Amino acid sequence: MIIRALEWLARSGRLVLLAGLGLGVLAGVALPDLAGILQALVAPVVVTLLFLAVLRLGPDGVRAGLAGWRTGLLTVLVLQLLLPCFAVLALRLLQVDSVLAFGLVLVLAAAPITGSPNLAIMSGASAPVALRQLVMGTLLLPATALPVFLLMPGLGAPTEVLSIVLRLLAVIALAGALGLWLRARKIVTANARSLIVIDGCTTLLLALIVIALMGAVGPALLAGIGAWGLLLLVLGLGFGLQLASLLGTYQKLPHAQAAAISQAAGNRNIALFLGVLPPALASDLLLFIGLYQIPMYLTPAVMGWVYARMRLKLA
């Protein structure tokens, strides 16, 4: 019975994520306490998702992704250093100083979300490349974020991001090492039954996370048109980054790799910076961060459609 349920979740990943988005919005209105309870589970669930992604890939999949480290390094420098620095300079030139401006800069400066490999698996993109960009982006985050923070000092004390990133790296290393160890010792193998269980659990956990993070969205959308305008902006930002990256890379790289890099470009771990921001600014950004989950979790459905329309050859 459980295996059948997980098999259905694995097959219906895109629909389950869409349902999670809808439930998250409704829960924020009808059951605000539920979102608060689930928020306490976000951190351990994120770590579990990373573990499941590495467990599914195994040593061979991880090695395949890390083989293109030069492309990965260049991608990180462009996405996490050049783009946010350019954005900061443009905003200062235009004398734009608002919560939206801070949110835009933080999105561009952030590393890919921890669930990147999971979203890649659901949409047919290269999970090893998604994992590579996650690890390299997080590893280089202290070096890439500090110049951005120095250019825009209102974001908080630059050095405080170092301890947070180091803790995140330690968690990634432990979760990844456990997944690789289980595969190397053949405690978990890559048979069809194992993959169904892993993919089903992944889908369920992703849905739980989005419900937890959407608690503030429902009330805001009901309160007025301002939140709807912000939603349109974050949709344009998230999918705009993905489309721009995809159009710039799909003729130069294997299509599955280009798709994974484009997803890394648009789906960023902006929540990582909450711990280093001034409390007032962090509070103002909560709605922005909640709304930004929508393009992230729509990625398998929307970008899967885009890949089909572009006739990309995905693995």
Comparing CA positions, the residue from 207, 205, 203, 198 lying closest to residue 179 is 198
Q: Which domains does the chain have, with CATH numbers?
A: 2-309 (1.20.1530.20)
| Lowest mean pLDDT across 31-35, 123-127, 301-305 | 31-35
Mean pLDDT of the chain: 83
Please give the biggest Cα pair distance in the chain: 60
pLDDT value for 315: 61
The amino acid occupying position 245 is: S
Q: Is the pLDDT of residue 201 over 90?
A: no
Q: How confident is the model at residue 80 (pLDDT cuts 50, 70, 90)?
A: very high
Considering 10-19, 25-34, 199-208, 271-280, the range whose residues carry the highest mean pLDDT is 199-208
pTM, two decimals, is 0.82
Q: Which residue has the higher pLDDT, 83 or 164?
A: 83
Task: Give residue 194's identity as a one-letter amino acid code.
Answer: S
Cα–Cα distance list, 95 to 153, 154, 191, 197, 262 (Å) = 15, 14, 57, 52, 30
Report the Cα 278 to chain-centroid distance in Å.
Answer: 23
Q: What are the tokens at 42?
A: 């976000």
pLDDT higher at 260 or 93: 260
CA–CA separation, 271 vs 287, rounded Å? Answer: 11
**Where is pLDDT greater, at 298 or 27?**
298
The mean per-residue pLDDT over the stretch 2-24 comes to 75
Contact 215, 28 (CB under 8 A): yes
Whether 177 shows a pLDDT value over 70: the answer reads yes
